[in-house]
Amino acid sequence: MSSKSDKNSGNSDKELAVKAKSEFNKGNYGNCVQILEKLTADKSCDVKLAHNKAVAEFYKGGLKKTESFQKALKAIFEKAKLRPERLETLEDVDTCVLYYNYAVILYHLRQYRAALGIVSKISRYIEPLDDGTAKKICWLLAECCLSAHQPAQALDAVRFIEAKFVTKPEDARKKDGTLTSLALRMHRYRLRAGLQLHNLSDVASDVRLLADTDMSRAFIESYSEYLSGRGRSAVSVLNRVAGMTLPPYRATGEHVATMYYNNLACIHHYLNKPNVAGYYLRRAIAENDAATAPPAKTDGDRYGGVPVHAIGGSRHYELVYNAGIAFLHAGRPKQAFDCLTEAIQVYHTNPRLWLRLAECCILAHRQEKHGDEPGTAAGVGVKRQSLIQGSIGAGVHRKLILRATPTAASSDQISAAIPNPTLEFASLALRNACLILGEDGEGESPVTVEPANPVTPDQVQTLRCSVLSASSYVHLCLGDPVLALEDARKLLTQRLLAPAQRLLGHLYAAEALLLLDRADEALEHLTPDLSADVSLHAPDVAPSPVEQRWYPNSPVGARMCLQYNMAVVRTIRGELELAWNLLRTMNPAAPEVPPQVVQLALYLQLKHGNLDIVRSIIKQHSPQYR
Amino acid sequence: MFCSFAVGNALVFLILQPDMLPHPHQRVVATAILYFLYKNEPIKRNPFANVFLHIMLFKKPASQLLHSELPPPAAASETSLAELETAVQERLKDVPPAARSGVSVVVPDPDLRPDASGAYSEQNVTRRTVEGVLSSPAPYAHQRLAPEFLRLAPPLHNCIDEMVYMVPTEPHEHQVAYDPSLLTAPAGVGEARQLMALAVNGPLTLQQQNQLISQLKRDLKTVYQVGVTPVKLPDLVEHNPIIAIEVLLQLMDSPQITDFFNVLVNMEMSLHSMEVVNRLTTAVELPAEFVHLYITNCIATCGAIKDRYMQNRLVRLVCVFLQSLIRNKIINVQTILIEVQAFCIDFIRIREAAALFRLLKQLDSNEHVSQLPPGQRT
């Protein structure tokens, strides 16, 4: 080595570089670092040398000293007068690997969009790079597209890989007919993109290309079954995982048991067993916390001294998000609220999540005030509460105390912005959702529902309808009929409106108008033909497999609601006879008839002063006060 | 103030329940107290004015008694009764019907069995009943039964695929990479890189040019490794147009070429830049809008030059350039016809412009002729 150095130092440097590369590829990172230190590079490859030294050091440390590697990269960028966050500074193909490594770290830190920006730009410069580096860049591109929920771009990336690296048939298929690892990996990305796009028929046919023993095939296939609505089949496919040997968490950066339990929870949620789903999610969270617990020695690394691919391995927030949804559907709004407020800290641009928070508040309010039984959805427990609060006095002076009408919810002194499942918080949450959603057809920036799969514009529209109806309801409860009327009117003009929501829109508008002393207009909203259809989803929209019990669930029930409310409007307008005529045809014992009918009957008789009839009604419905 | 109102409310309640105040004089006293609670204000501002109205209008004996109790100025005559009535109606109008529709929740239910009162004396029972009804915190006397609108809660939002289903993503497959190109570029590339750096700053010697071009042609990856960026293109075009041509030709298939075109179109027009574009047009098929934009730029630049000599030179060059484009059918004459004709007319004094104009006219008339039916062609 040294004999050649006085003649031609350029050559020996080159030999050293080759040797360093081979030591690195053999895994002898210490040797590699030593050789690189001997190199006296000139200015033109200063950057590359420093870069390779940093990489070799990082590997020498077992991929655990991520923070020092990041610092080293930053120093290199500064020396080269480049700025990784300003993509226009990437001009020279020489710096591609430097930017790639920066993107890899971002990916492992779960900053998918930033990583995607960098790696998309790099992928335009890959012609001169060697195959190994080019492939790495392309795989990272595909992965970042999927993690950032941009499946169409991921498919483009896969096509690009196919065009560039599968030029001969033996690139795709080995001599024995099985697919090469390149082809298999491409298929896996293609399948994952297909799942995000809901192209279920493509997924079902392509998934057979993967081996039966492949763990990711079990996950992908069960996902496909789950999305197709075949829950039982999904469970049995997923259970194939139980028989396989699972790689340890630190080796791959993902914990299979966590994913397994989480997926079982999703399936059971779709099978209408939200309590079972909640149970599995608790298991999943426990597994996740145990696996991702930081090790005792962190060696001063701010990421915990774990291998770089395990830094972002905790799925805590996604699990907590799922748990919130499961608990909400199980009728446990307070638990759901706690989970979802944790999730919203990370996913605060998800309007659907804000809506779910508001729904938790609404359900909690109904359970508290109206005594809806826990375990049932709001609205079903139009509970038959007793007519009488009690009786006072005895003998001639005995008085019966009827149950009073509740007044509008009073706001507590606690600030509404502190997360509590109150209607005031619901109002804020719904306003956030409205702001993020914007108007129909404005579609400038697409709406994301992270961490879930992307939504189509139609799904965004149905979300708008739900937000408006919840908002109108909350405003009515908080005693604000002006805003309630505005929201109800807006709701009635929306596209893709479910029949049940049309009914609600008219009811809320009628109540708001009544409170604003415009009873004539209120009557216009209470037409009987609204009760013809009470389905919860619009005609062209796929219904959720998750069933809900909602009242009214039949056209008869809807007609009874409308008739009762018409009687209320007539009463307030002073047309007591008309009101009484409407009430007479409604039998309070029938399940579709709202129990408030009896209260209104009592009221009408009290107005007329017919105390005998009042007493007889009371005795009929509360026999203990005979 | 609040206390008076509470007391007044309690009294009104008692007045309305005949069994609570069985003796008529008790009711008169109660009514009087209601009056005296607010005696400092005019009677129509008394919150309980409608009680007085009710009594005056419907209960004559009590009103006679009242007349004797009250001092003369406050005595109600027929006219001021009507006044009071209108004042009260006015006040009620401000309250929406929905808010004033409540009735008391206390319903008399006399138990007429003997011994119903049990061991308590009559007075005791009355007092306990009154206390039970009027005591705080939420006195029954203040509670109201009103028509209650049935407010249905909205159903939970209906959507599919809301939960996160997890699929393995193999994060460990994406690892930091060693750069294998350290000092491993072929020797030629290093020199080519140096030469390119020189070429951007000034003209190369013939020998240097040949060396660079042969390296570019020998190893097709060289063009990507010599550090030529769109920003450096104008300088390269000015100093070494031949090299610029070679570089652009080699970059034709790469996605970076659009950036280079953008720079080429927008750079200052010159002999060299036209030469480059001309060569490009003859070698490959350029995007039509690029060529069009370039021509427009050229024409604009010609018009903007102040120096007469330079202007003439440039105009001549542009005309020759356009003629070549037209004769080689690289552009569709029709798309630029009007612009170019205007340009020619502006510079009709220059020979080449006139020639170009004639060429255009000839082509135009040929077009028209070919569109006429055969019999009419001259």
A547 CB-contact burial (10 Å; exposed 0-12 / middle 13-18 / buried 19+): exposed
> Phi and psi dihedrals of A293, rounded to 5?
-60, 135
Per-residue pLDDT at A7: 38
**In terms of pLDDT, which residue wins out, A67 or A587?**
A67
**In terms of pLDDT, which residue wins out, B293 or A355?**
A355
Coil, helix or strand at residue B144: strand
Banded model confidence at residue B271, pLDDT cuts 50, 70, 90: confident
Alpha-carbon gap, residue B219 to B188, rounded angstroms: 9
- The amino acid present at A45, given as its one-letter code, is C
Using the Cβ of B110 and the Cβ atoms of chain A, whether some distance falls under 8 Å is answered with yes
Tens digit of each residue's pLDDT (9 = 90 or more) over B231-252: 889 989 999 999 999 999 888 8
Using the Cβ of A226 and the Cβ atoms of chain B, whether some distance falls under 8 Å is answered with yes
pLDDT at A67 over 50: yes
Alpha-carbon gap, residue A425 to A418, rounded angstroms: 8
Whole-structure pTM value = 0.80
Per-residue pLDDT at A5: 42
Chain Cα centroid distance, residue B191? 54
Return residues 455-514 of A near B (CB < 8 Å). Answer: 455, 459, 462-463, 466, 469-470, 473, 476-477, 498, 500-501, 503-504, 507-508, 510-511, 514
**Contact (CB, 8 A) for B132 and A325:** no
Per-residue pLDDT at B376: 58
- The amino acid present at B30, given as its one-letter code, is A
Using the Cβ of B119 and the Cβ atoms of chain A, whether some distance falls under 8 Å is answered with no
Contacts of B6 (CB under 8 A, 6+ apart): none
In this structure, of A70-79, A434-443, B38-47, B293-302, the range with the lowest mean pLDDT score is B38-47
Which alpha helices (DSSP H) does A392-480 contain, by range? 423-437, 457-477
pLDDT at B143 over 80: no
**In terms of pLDDT, which residue wins out, A115 or B10?**
A115
Neighbours of B158 (CB within 10 A): 23
Return residues 34-93 of B near A (CB < 8 Å). Answer: none
Strands (E), A54-145: none
Identify the residue among B104, B129, B170, B182 best suited for mutation to test binding to A, counting A beta carbons within 10 A and taking the highest: B182
Tens digit of each residue's pLDDT (9 = 90 or more) over A607-626: 888 888 888 888 887 766 65
Alpha-carbon gap, residue A563 to A596, rounded angstroms: 12
Alpha-carbon gap, residue A157 to A160, rounded angstroms: 5
Per-residue pLDDT at B72: 37
Contacts of A116 (CB under 8 A, 6+ apart): A141, A144, A145, A148, A150
Per-residue pLDDT at A8: 47
pLDDT at A587 over 60: yes
DSSP B181: T
Q: What is the mean pLDDT of chain B?
A: 78
Neighbours of B52 (CB within 10 A): 21
Tokens of residue B17, six digits:
């329940």
Banded model confidence at residue A505, pLDDT cuts 50, 70, 90: very high
**Contact (CB, 8 A) for B366 and B378:** no
Tokens of residue B30, six digits:
């109660």
Return residues 160-179 of A near B (CB < 8 Å). Answer: none
Percent of chain A past pLDDT 90, that is, above it, reads: 43
In this prediction, residues A546-550 reach a mean pLDDT of 81
Minimal-distance CA residue of chain B relative to A358 = B156
Contacts of A245 (CB under 8 A, 6+ apart): none
Taking an 8 Å cut-off on Cβ atoms, the answer to whether A614 and B148 are in contact is no
Tens digit of each residue's pLDDT (9 = 90 or more) over A144-192: 999 999 999 999 999 989 888 888 887 788 878 788 888 999 999 999 9
Per-residue pLDDT at B137: 66
DSSP for A288-326 reads HHHHTPPPS--TT-TTTT--GGGTT---HHHHHHHHHHH
Question: In terms of Cα–Cα distance, which of A538, A610, A539, A603 is closest to A567?
Answer: A603
Taking an 8 Å cut-off on Cβ atoms, the answer to whether B166 and A219 are in contact is yes
Alpha-carbon gap, residue B173 to A107, rounded angstroms: 12
Return residues 399-428 of A near B (CB < 8 Å). Answer: 399-405
Tokens of residue A398, six digits:
């005995």
Minimal-distance CA residue of chain A relative to B222 = A128
Taking an 8 Å cut-off on Cβ atoms, the answer to whether B229 and A92 are in contact is yes
* Distance (Å) from the alpha carbon of B367 to chain A's nearest alpha carbon: 44
**Contact (CB, 8 A) for B302 and B318:** yes
Coil, helix or strand at residue B176: coil
Question: In terms of Cα–Cα distance, which of B255, B250, B253 is closest to B214?
Answer: B250
Banded model confidence at residue B44, pLDDT cuts 50, 70, 90: low
Terminal CA-to-CA distance of chain B, rounded, Å? Answer: 112
ipTM value of the model? 0.87
Per-residue pLDDT at A6: 40
In this structure, of A76-80, A435-439, B6-10, B273-277, the range with the lowest mean pLDDT score is B6-10
Taking an 8 Å cut-off on Cβ atoms, the answer to whether B148 and A405 are in contact is yes
**In terms of pLDDT, which residue wins out, A608 or A128?**
A608
Which alpha helices (DSSP H) does chain B contain, by range? 2-16, 24-37, 49-58, 60-69, 78-93, 122-134, 187-201, 206-218, 222-225, 233-239, 241-251, 257-266, 271-283, 288-304, 308-327, 333-346, 351-371
Identify the residue among A280, A397, A583 best suited for mutation to test binding to B, counting B beta carbons within 10 A and taking the highest: A397
Which alpha helices (DSSP H) does A248-397 contain, by range? 249-252, 256-270, 274-291, 316-329, 333-344, 351-369
Taking an 8 Å cut-off on Cβ atoms, the answer to whether B170 and A254 are in contact is yes
Percent of chain A past pLDDT 70, that is, above it, reads: 91
Coil, helix or strand at residue B293: helix
Q: Give Cα separations from B78 to B84, B255, B295 (angstroms).
A: 10, 99, 101
Tokens of residue B202, six digits:
């000034």
Minimal-distance CA residue of chain A relative to B163 = A322
Q: Is the peptide bond prior to A481 cis by the omega test (within 30 degrees of 0)?
A: no
Return residues 155-174 of B near A (CB < 8 Å). Answer: 155-174
Taking an 8 Å cut-off on Cβ atoms, the answer to whether A392 and B129 are in contact is yes
Q: How many inter-chain contacts (A to B, CB under 8 Å) are there?
A: 356
B109 neighbourhood in chain A, CB within 8 Å:
391, 398-400, 615, 625
Minimal-distance CA residue of chain B relative to A221 = B167
Tens digit of each residue's pLDDT (9 = 90 or more) over A323-344: 999 999 999 999 999 999 999 9
In this prediction, residues B143-163 reach a mean pLDDT of 88
Neighbours of A256 (CB within 10 A): 20
DSSP run (H or E) holding A215: helix A215-227
* Distance (Å) from the alpha carbon of B178 to chain A's nearest alpha carbon: 6
Per-residue pLDDT at A328: 94
Per-residue pLDDT at A11: 60
* Distance (Å) from the alpha carbon of A287 to chain B's nearest alpha carbon: 14
Alpha-carbon gap, residue A534 to A163, rounded angstroms: 52
pLDDT at B116 over 80: no
B143 neighbourhood in chain A, CB within 8 Å:
401, 404
A397 neighbourhood in chain B, CB within 8 Å:
19-20, 110, 117, 125-126, 129
**Contact (CB, 8 A) for A496 and A459:** no
**Contact (CB, 8 A) for A326 and A295:** no
B190 neighbourhood in chain A, CB within 8 Å:
44
- The amino acid present at B289, given as its one-letter code, is E
Per-residue pLDDT at B370: 60
Tens digit of each residue's pLDDT (9 = 90 or more) over A453-465: 988 888 899 999 9
A463 neighbourhood in chain B, CB within 8 Å:
157, 159
